[in-house]
Structure formats: structure tokens, C-alpha cells
Structure 1
């Protein structure tokens, strides 16, 4: 079920023209590199981002990749996908909507960037990399 902010039309947001223009420019030109939105509570920040994300086209990703790698850009693959490709494995892909990932207040650096899975290391004696919030939001919206 969709929340009201996901169903709200981007064009229906009144005011906030600079914010809407920045979001649209970022959506059509990846060279912009991102938009940081800040403002008072109730100024439609989250509503605008979720409404725009609903308009974005589906993207092609490597199936099972925690970073949502683009299979059409082998030079930009994450270490996992690059290693699979180097072994001669065909990277399965799928189309999916660009993700909207929330950044929780008080997120720690290891949760944002990545960390080693200490529970797995203790229980099984294995090193396992746990991708962070940025990995989840890659090629989407944070």
C-alpha cells in the first residue's frame, strides 16, 4: 500500500520552486551529483522527493548486487560484480524502480558507509562485508 507522500503528484506541490527545479535537474543529469534538501518541518521535502522518485524510470541492475550495479557499465561495477565478471560469470540483471532510502537520524558512520558483520565473524569465523545505507541508495534517492 502506498502512503500519501508516495501517491502525491510532484506537479501538485505548491511553492518550493527552487527545490523542485534542483530535484528535476538532478533527475535528468547525473553530472549534477546530488541535491541536499533542508528546511523547516512541513515544507514538503520528503513529499517532493518521494513524488519525484515515483516518476523516475525503472533502472537495469545486476540481480542480487547490494549496490545495484549497472550491468551496462562494466567499468563502474562494484568489487563483487567485477569479481564475478572476471571469473567469466554472466551477470543476471533485472529492471526495478529506483529506490528511495531514508537516512535515519543519528545513523552511525559504519551504518552509513559499511562495516564487517561482527556476529558472523564471531559465530562462524568468517569475514563478511555488510554494505551500508549508501550502497542501498546507490543509483536511487537518499
Structure 2
């Protein structure tokens, strides 16, 4: 396992946060361009009476996944005595994992907050589209963290 320099760690950490922050607006922009070019919305038609239910589901998703991410963090701490984990930490990868972990929790809580805000201020399709693109960002974070935890489990059982 290659040792990361402090500059590489800082650069990758900035990248994690920057990509996380810009992915939702980028997805909305791509959606807008495609919609303008083909003239048809890519989102399925959402019946206004179903927005409360959809927002409730998205709110539940964001809080449940925050708990799931917390459980992964607890698991990572439980394998911290394994030799493969020590190599991973010493190479600097644990610092990157913590940045990804923090970004995942931050964006899940941001999604939750927007859902609550939308329920309180009234439903609009624009807010719903923003929240749905944040859900895509949440899925990417969850996939990356889960993959890291699974790889760490695989490496710790092979040691």
C-alpha cells in the first residue's frame, strides 16, 4: 500500500468535499440541458398530492442512512486493532475515509433538513428536484463508504 503525502491527503480531501458540493448542481444543470434539448422532462410526472408522501420517504431515507453510516463508523473502529487497518491508517487512507464519512453524514443531514424545510414551507417541484439530486449524492457516498468498509473487512480476514 502506497504512503500518501500530506499534500496528497489535503488535495484528495478537498476533492471529496468539492465534488460532493458540486455534484448536485451539476446534475441539475445536466438535467436542465437535456430537458431543453429534447423538450421532455426526465423526471417522472409527480402528482402534487403525492409530494408529502415522497418527502416523507426521502426524510426517512436520509435519517436511516445516517444511522447506517454511523454503524459503519463503529465497525471501522472495531477493526482498528487489525494489522491491515494499521497499514491503511499509516498510509493516510483513514484520513480520507474520515473526510468521506463526514461528507456523507453532512449531506444526509442536509438532505433531511431540506425535506423538513420543504414540508414546512410548501412543496415545489424545484425543491423536490434539488432533494432528489442530493439523494444521488447520498447514494454515491454510501456506496463509497460501504465499499471501503467491505474492503477493510476482506483485508482484515486475510491477515
TM-score where L is the length of structure 1 = 0.23
Of structures 1 and 2, the one scoring higher in RCO (CA 8 A, sep 6+) is: 2
More helix by share: 2
**Which of these two proteins has the greater Rg computed from alpha carbons?**
2
Greater per-residue strand proportion: 1
